[in-house]
Amino acid sequence: MGQSELGCTHGEIPTEVDRDEPMSKLMPLSMMVFAAGLIALAAVFALRASGVDHLPVWLDVTSAMLVPLGITMGLISVFRGHERD
């Protein structure tokens, strides 16, 4: 049987993966942006449910923009990482 690119024969489970390149910093950043957007979105829902009609513009913009921005950044990070492999 031949060896795979991880250095083990077929049927074996590799115990460690050689990572020459450092992990992209874009994925953790995208997760933080997405989480901040979800928190802002939850705040908007909570304030609307409690009867507040006029929310600050920055809160509406934050909740509307950070969630899709985080998803987009995450997808870019995944596709860039896939191209390196």
Question: Is 4 within 8 Å of 10 (Cβ atoms)?
Answer: yes
Three-state DSSP class for residue 13: coil
2-49 pLDDT per residue, tens: 555 555 566 666 565 555 555 678 899 999 999 999 999 999 999 999
The pLDDT score that the predictor gives to residue 48 is: 93
Residue with tokens 């250095």: 7
Tokens of 51: 């009867």
* Dihedral (CA of 40, 45, 46, 51) sign: positive
pTM greater than 0.85 (yes/no): no
